[in-house]
Amino acid sequence: MASLDLPFQHRILLIEDDNLSLFAASEILFRLTAMVDIARDVEEANERLNTTPYDLVISDINLPDGTGMDIIRCAYSDAKSKNKTTPFVALTAHQDKKKHQTILDSGFIDVVMKPLSLARAYLYLERCSLSNDELAPAELAVIDLKLGMKRISAGNDEKAVIAIGMLIDSLEEDIVELKRLQVNNNIEGVREILHKIKGGLEYSGVPRLQRYIALLYSEVQANADLATLQPLFDIIYEQTALLTTAYQELVADRRGCDLI
């Protein structure tokens, strides 16, 4: 039974055939949740996915009897699968970006270079909590300093404010590039820039924009024509401007308090 002291109560399937990598990754995951199942190959993984619903699957790509892409393909298409919408994260030792994109195109939400870090595992489990939240994106906070503090392990909210400022600085350039790629219907380019933005959002307390970016990224993965996603792109641009305004007001308010 999971300890109440652990930060998450999610059930995870870890798929890995290398003993050392399996030991290292499982030790990290057990520090976050006690509910971790193990599979060492495609066959064993498919058996577990057909009988047990998971909140997250973390899978090595190269396995003795196939690949992690074989597993996700089966999980998402097999009528017996209990994990048709479960997020999958890929573990790999390969640095080839083209191979990484092939993995993402198969349905994985991210590709992680081995070894799996505690910080990265924490972010994925936190993302599961966010995705299971019943709130609609518009009901989420534009800025959540407590969430930001947790994500960067900060002892005060000042560092969370700094992190959001750094995020906004990078977003200015990224959004300009996203608009250019969208106009040119450059699907691969849009995927890449959204993947970059998603990574930055994981280290800041901005849950509303994070949810909308996740939705857009998911839709881009499934659509060949970006024009059909114009309403969602418009929301992203509106929410980015709203975040900038909210941040400026937050900083101004804090400065005002300092002068009192």
What is the spatial distance between Cα 149 and Cα 19, in angstroms, rounded to a whole number?
A: 35
Contact between residue 131 and residue 87 where contact means Cβ atoms under 8 Å apart: yes
Q: What is the pLDDT of residue 131?
A: 59
Average pLDDT per 10 consecutive residues for the chain, totaling 260 residues: 63 96 93 92 96 95 95 89 91 87 90 86 77 63 91 85 94 96 93 92 90 85 79 92 95 73
What is the spatial distance between Cα 54 and Cα 82, in angstroms, rounded to a whole number?
A: 8
- Looking at 131, 161, 191, the residue that finishes a domain is 131
Q: 180-221: per-residue pLDDT in tens?
A: 999 999 999 999 999 999 988 988 899 999 988 988 887 887
Candidates 119, 192, 116, 186; CA nearest to 153 is 119
Examine the domain organization and report whether 121 and 222 are in the same domain.
no
Examine the domain organization and report whether 172 and 190 are in the same domain.
yes
Contact between residue 104 and residue 73 where contact means Cβ atoms under 8 Å apart: no
Q: Phi first, then psi: what are they for 15, rounded to 5°?
A: -115, 115
What is the spatial distance between Cα 108 and Cα 195, in angstroms, rounded to a whole number?
A: 12
Q: What is the pLDDT of residue 155?
A: 80
Is cis: bond before 115, omega within 30 of 0? yes
Q: What is the pLDDT of residue 154?
A: 77
In this structure, what token pair is assigned to residue 92?
């790999």
Q: 51-84: per-residue pLDDT in tens?
A: 999 999 999 999 999 999 999 999 998 887 899 8
Domain interval for residue 245: 137-259
What is the spatial distance between Cα 63 and Cα 49, in angstroms, rounded to a whole number?
A: 16
The one-letter amino acid code at 208 reads R
The one-letter amino acid code at 28 reads I
CB under 8 Å to 10, separation ≥6 — which residues? 33, 35, 55, 56, 125, 128, 129
Q: What is the pLDDT of residue 260?
A: 47
DSSP designation for 202: T
2 in a structural domain? no
195 in a structural domain? yes
Three-state DSSP at 39 gives: strand
Examine the domain organization and report whether 65 and 164 are in the same domain.
no
4 in a structural domain? no
CA angle 200, 204, 206 (to 5 degrees): 105
The total domain count for the chain is 2
Q: Which H or E run includes 43?
A: helix 42-51
End-to-end CA distance of the chain: 51
Examine the domain organization and report whether 62 and 83 are in the same domain.
yes
- Strands (E) across the chain are located at 12-15, 36-39, 56-60, 62-63, 66-67, 88-92, 110-113
The domain that holds 28 is classified in CATH as 3.40.50.2300
5 in a structural domain? no
User: Which residues on neighbouring strands pair with residue 100, listed in sequence order?
Assistant: none
Q: Phi first, then psi: what are they for 25, rounded to 5°?
A: -70, -40
